[in-house]
Amino acid sequence: GLDGKPRKNTLRLVGSETEAVSTVTWSGAAFVVHTGSHPGDAELVQVDTWMLSADGKELRIKREATYVGRAMGSPTLVFVKQ
């Protein structure tokens, strides 16, 4: 839900499943999904920030992920309406 309350879900990672908890919030005009899980004994944290351009023609999704406290990269996906 969009109420900021944690929600449980299942992640499928490399042939196994792990429970994850996601929280959805707004940060200004950005839609932010924070997901945390513990595959095995490790901690995986992923934050996806969704941003729509003012004209509604471009959607950007920036993903920041850490695994056992180490950054795994932060790709940005860009979708353009044609």
12-49: pLDDT as tens digits: 877 788 899 999 999 999 999 999 998 878 898 999 99
Measured from the Cβ of residue 18, the count of other Cβ atoms closer than 10 Å reads: 14
Residue found under tokens 């879900």: 9
Please give the model's pTM, rounded to 2 decimal places: 0.83
Interval 39-62: pLDDT, tens: 878 898 999 999 999 999 999 999
Average pLDDT for residues 51-74, to the nearest whole number? Answer: 93
Reported residue count of the chain is: 82
CB 39 within 8 A of CB 13: yes
- Phi and psi of 81, rounded to 5°? -75, 130
Of the pLDDT bands very low, low, confident and very high (cuts 50, 70, 90), residue 1 is low
The one-letter amino acid at 33: V
Please report, for the chain, how many H helices and E strands are present, in that order. 0, 7
Q: Is 3 helix (H, G, I), strand (E, B) or coil?
A: coil
